[in-house]
Chain A
Amino acid sequence: NAGVTQTPKFRVLKTGQSMTLLCAQDMNHEYMYWYRQDPGMGLRLIHYSVGEGTTAKGEVPDGYNVSRLKKQNFLLGLESAAPSQTSVYFCASSALQSGSNQPQHFGDGTRLSIL
């Protein structure tokens, strides 16, 4: 059972380059999320999605775009990478259950360095 899978696991980019991080979940979850983790700052929500075809901004959305064309996939794009976007990125998903907020399940992370 794969759960939440992120690709790639590592990537080095030059300033100004673009790239897309892919997140796939096989648990049929409605909700998906992208976070970044920086030292001393915990996990900060970039964007999230409450269902196929819908996305919304989180706490730190600037410089990122997302798409959820299929329920199982959630893509995070960097159009013009900046050194400030050097971070570890986590994707997560959770089930929709009315009246009971469920745990989020996380991928293993993508370590991204922008030079």
Chain B
Amino acid sequence: AQKVTQAQTEISVVEKEDVTLDCVYETRDTTYYLFWYKQPPSGELVFLIRRNSFDEQNEISGRYSWNFQKSTSSFNFTITASQVVDSAVYFCALSEELNTGNQFYFGTGTSLTVIP
């Protein structure tokens, strides 16, 4: 079974629109960590955020915000007033406290295209 599901394969929005990328995870651990990464067209993977399972506060960083809801096992990512530079593939990942070596389970990614 997939531990991290990103059901949206591709999304296209027009510049300045808001967009939400969904991430649903599955774990039996009580302590776990969730991450978002960005992969722009140049190919590198850029770390965006880490959230632990005990901190359900939403987080905002500029135009980016994250909504963590344990009740629905979701960790969604919203970009407000999207820009062309936001075009990238975004990955959600899960790391369980008890796994060996801080292994990550990645979703299959959501490809976001922002149209000027």
Contact = CB atoms under 8 A, between A and B. Distances in A.
Interface of A: 31, 33, 40-45, 48-50, 56, 58, 88, 90, 92, 94, 96, 99-106, 108-109
19 contacts: A43-B104, A48-B103, A50-B101, A56-B100, A90-B45, A99-B97, A101-B32, A101-B52, A101-B97, A101-B102, A103-B35, A104-B47, A104-B104, A105-B47, A106-B37, A106-B44, A106-B45, A108-B44, A109-B44
Given A101-B95, A101-B97, A103-B50, A45 B103 contact: yes
B46 to A, nearest CB: 8
Contacts of A58: 103
Interface string B63-95: 000000000000000000000000000010001
Interface string B42-62: 011101001010000000000
Contacts of B32: 101
Interface of B: 9, 32-33, 35, 37, 43-45, 47, 50, 52, 91, 95, 97, 100-104, 106-109
A56 B99 CA distance: 13
Contact of B109 (A42, A99, A103): A42
Nearest to B44: A108
Contacts of A109: 43-44
Given A43-B91, A103-B50, 17 more contacts: A31-B101, A33-B103, A40-B108, A42-B106, A43-B104, A50-B101, A56-B100, A90-B45, A96-B102, A99-B97, A100-B33, A101-B32, A101-B52, A101-B97, A102-B102, A104-B102, A106-B37
B108 A42 contact: yes
Contact of A42 (B43, B50, B91, B103): B91
Contact of A88 (B43, B47, B91, B97): B43
Chain B CB count within 10 A is highest, among A41, A42, A45, A106, for A42
A58 B105 CA distance: 11
A50 B100 CA distance: 8
Nearest to A105: B47
Contacts of B44: 106, 108-109
